[in-house]
Structure 1
């Protein structure tokens, strides 16, 4: 459900920034298995996926091979890390740069963000999905893990569901960073306000109407204060000046 919500929010921002029907140049940094790359390519955009994990890259190539030739021709995969955009691409090469679920693994996020912003053409859109450091106590607190909730206050470090020690980001700090790299914050959303405590293996509602209602609730909460401020994830959209 997270992917569906973020996809809707990203599409909303693209529609607000660019003329209808324009074929955009998109860079997806840390694309994983390429699901979003394929979605955007199916919408007509020219998409480059950057991924450092060889297994994920292989899975993305396998998925792309099953697509029609017209879609395959709009996709390019590059093996590399998010910190290496300047090695692989020229400044101003993309209209949209997407970096979802990556910053929590990066030791120097400010330098990475500056590199991503340099990839944008003027007026380009930078889309970030990060863990919300201001709400790290919510998940253990709602689960009744009082010691875990107490330890989560005032820190940006946490252990994710993969068992990896990573870091979260704060809205105010990212807002300042985006301003400093000439891609000031244009819009932001909360993601997983009510569904963050659901088990990873939990299936979404099978009934389409029930699923749509659930997505509508999460989407409404994700754009409404104070709910979005306690979301597990933050989706931030900056625009290159």
Structure 2
């Protein structure tokens, strides 16, 4: 997915431009740190105190120049208007967050307001059109049958969460002024791999297959996750 994001950034902004990036729900800060190392000015927003502590510890081990380019704020992604002025960022990331938000539309509208004109909104969501794939491939037939008619599911952490359908998010993004520019599938073939599975020797080939599938119909439509990129008008 990092390659997909970099592709969108390179295709939208002048080479060498230092972008203002907001990572909402940054977790332990992996993506935020990667972008700070690439020269961008990054703000990470995270409400989980444990994750914030991990991110701050990781940042503390970075060279001074990178530490100066990244700030971490403990807070809720639904309160971006409290922390920032509209149009403050060139890129807003919201990866792996919407599945935990019961009513995502207000959050998405707030994120769109944070974007400067021409800014990029990057979302990573659970694919609500493919919820039957995981239980089906694991032989859970009753679970697969139920999954066809819902966007609710239980994740690997045992939490009851929700997924999003491409059609619905396309409509939402258009309505908040950041219409869908392109989308990718993520984890087309690897979603059923058990946690802790050993990395295969031919991991580069695996990544190449996933990358190709994530850009190719019909494969991307059955991916476990969707990466959507909207652009602020």
Q: Same fold (TM over 0.5)?
A: yes
Give runs of aligned pairs for residues 84-163 of structure 1, distance below 5 A.
Answer: 84-163=79-158
**Shift, 1:204, TM fit:** 2.0
Corresponding residue for 1:213? 205
Corresponding residue for 1:3? none
Structure 1 gaps of 5+ residues are 1-5
Question: 1:162 & 1:33 partners in 2: Cα distance?
Answer: 17
Instruction: Compute the RMSD of aligned alpha carbons.
Output: 0.6
Question: 1:211 & 1:184 partners in 2: Cα distance?
Answer: 34
Corresponding residue for 2:231? 239
Corresponding residue for 1:20? 15
Question: 2:133 & 2:102 partners in 1: Cα distance?
Answer: 24
Corresponding residue for 1:77? 72
Question: 1:49 & 1:171 partners in 2: Cα distance?
Answer: 26
**Shift, 1:203, TM fit:** 2.6
Question: 1:99 & 1:223 partners in 2: Cα distance?
Answer: 20
Per-residue CA deviation, residues 110-134 of structure 1 (Å, 9 max, x unaligned), is 1100000000000000000000010
Question: 1:63 & 1:39 partners in 2: Cα distance?
Answer: 11
- Indicate which of 160, 163, 168 corresponds to 1:165: 160
Per-residue CA deviation, residues 39-98 of structure 1 (Å, 9 max, x unaligned), is 000000000000000000000000000000000000000111110101111000000000
Question: 1:203 & 1:174 partners in 2: Cα distance?
Answer: 35
Give runs of aligned pairs for residues 25-44 of structure 1, distance below 5 A.
Answer: 25-44=20-39
